[in-house]
Chains A and B, each alone.
Chain A
Amino acid sequence: MSIDSSSYRDRMNDDDLSPELGRTAERIRAASSIVQPSEFLRTKILQRARQKEGDTRSDRIVLRAVMALVVCSLLLMFTALKLDAWQDEPVRRATWAGMQERAAEIAAERRIAVDASLCEAYLEWRSDLSQRWRNSNASSSFQP
């Protein structure tokens, strides 16, 4: 048997083989179909394919559900941030904490410290005033 370069491109015919090898090739060709896939292979493969397809579909559903959950979580986070910012708005003053905060602001604006120093200032002012009253009454009583 000789194999030239042209046989790489074209199918080698049995004519190209020696009679002995040609007969061997024929015998091999005749034995081609005696080995067959086992009875249940077809069912097994089709069943697995359908199962896999079902699994893929379930995976897609789960993926979509997870994506929807992520989107919902992001929306919730966004809303929470918005609510946090809203707390700084004047509406917040309607609450007890807000009112206390506003009272502190007013006190700061008027430069009055709502504590003991205010009482001290008041007492000082009152004693000063009473002193003036006493002085003015005394000077008017010594007048002729």
Chain B
Amino acid sequence: MSPPNHSETVREFSQRLRESGAAALGGLYDLTAARLVRFSTTITRNQQDAEDAVAAVLLKVVESPSILVHATSPWSYLLRMVRNESLVILRKRKRWAIVQSLMDLWTVIPVDELDREELLQAVWRELRALPTEQSEVVVLKIWEEMTFQQIAEVLEIPPPTAASRYRYAMTKLASKLSVEPLEVRHVD
């Protein structure tokens, strides 16, 4: 779950990075990397590319942490940087084919979720089958708990466009994923 002041925490870590240099990168990595990789994977559809994008962005942040310190919303800015880098990598490698298998993903299933592994992986599979512009809205909306206004800022689109993409994506996902009532447990 995204804490309400996540953006401020990112700013605080960026400030430390500015003061202490690369030695302080570990904190920012621990705070953001998993979520950035997750977001980037929905764009690149390949975890290796996503990790390359995240690495490139974090190295840029090390070079000039001030861009995050002075950003209005550092977390949104970081997401936008990762998105742009992911798109660059995607364009460079021309990997437009949708990967149906999850073999390239580094998945971790909590022990108490093992019985639902297939269900959880099905979500990823279907997310990757969506067009990028729809899957990224779903990720930002559901996993990053952003408003459509915030999503619009990250994706540089009007808020109504973000909302309609979300609607289309959710309708598709609902039809693809079996939607019988399940006891859903949160994985933190």
Q: CB within 8 A of A27: which of B38, B51, B146, B182?
A: B182
Given the complex of chains A and B, what is the CA–CA distance between A31 and B188 in angstroms?
Answer: 10
A12 to B143, CA, bound (A): 13
Q: How far is the CA of A31 from the CA of B51 in the complex (A)?
A: 19
Q: How far is the CA of A33 from the CA of B26 in the complex (A)?
A: 20
By beta carbon, the residue of chain B nearest A38 is: B106
Known: A11-B145, A41-B33. A34 touches B109 (CB 8 A): yes
Nearest B-chain residue to A4, judged by Cβ? B163
Most chain B Cβ neighbours within 10 Å, of A29, A31, A42, A50: A31
Tell yes or no: B13 within 8 A of A by CB: no
User: How far, in angstroms, from A7 to B34 measured CA to CA in the complex?
Assistant: 28
A108 to B177, CA, bound (A): 112
A44-B124 CB under 8 A given contacts A30-B187, A52-B22: no
- Check if B145 sits within 8 Å of A46, measured CB to CB: no
Asked whether, in the complex, the Cβ of B170 is within 8 Å of the Cβ of A24, the reply is: yes
A101 at the binding interface (Cβ < 8 Å): no
Known A28-B142, A35-B124: A49·B58 in contact at CB below 8 Å:
yes
Task: Choose one: A29, A35, A46, A52; the contact of B142 (CB below 8 Å).
Answer: A29
| Known A-B contacts A20-B174, A37-B33, A38-B47; A30 and B186 likewise in contact (beta carbons under 8 Å) | yes
A46 close to B29 (CB less than 8 A): yes
Q: Which B residues touch A9, using CB under 8 A? A: 147-149
Task: With A20-B179, A34-B109 as known contacts, state yes or no: A45 contacts B170, CB within 8 Å.
Answer: no
Instruction: Tell me whether A36 and B185 are in contact in the complex, defined as CB-CB below 8 angstroms, given that A42-B29, A53-B22 are known contacts.
Output: no
Contact of A35 among B107, B110, B166, B185 (CB under 8 A): B107
Contact of B120 among A17, A34, A39, A42 (CB under 8 A): A34
Instruction: Indicate whether A31 sits within 8 Å of B120 (C-beta atoms), given known contacts A41-B33, A45-B59, A46-B29.
Output: yes
Contact of B55 among A10, A31, A33, A44 (CB under 8 A): A44
The residue of chain A having its C-beta at the shortest distance from the C-beta of B150 within the complex is: A11
Give, as a whole number of angstroms, the nearest-CB distance from A65 to chain B.
Answer: 22
Roughly how many angstroms separate A34 CA and B118 CA in the complex, as a whole number?
11
In the complex, what residues of B have CB within 8 A of residue A36's CB?
34, 37, 106-108
A10, A36, A39 interface centre (most CB from chain B within 10 Å): A36
- Encode contact with A along B158-176: 1 for CB under 8 Å, 0 otherwise: 0110111011001101100
B82 interfacial contact with A, CB 8 Å: no
Q: Can you list 13 residue pairs at the A/B interface with Cβ under 8 Å?
A: A1-B167, A3-B164, A8-B159, A8-B163, A12-B141, A31-B120, A33-B108, A34-B107, A34-B124, A37-B33, A38-B47, A39-B106, A49-B22
Q: Contacts A30-B186, A31-B120, A31-B187 known; list 16 others, CB within 8 Å.
A: A7-B148, A9-B147, A11-B145, A23-B179, A24-B173, A26-B184, A33-B108, A34-B107, A34-B121, A34-B187, A36-B34, A36-B37, A36-B108, A41-B37, A45-B59, A52-B62
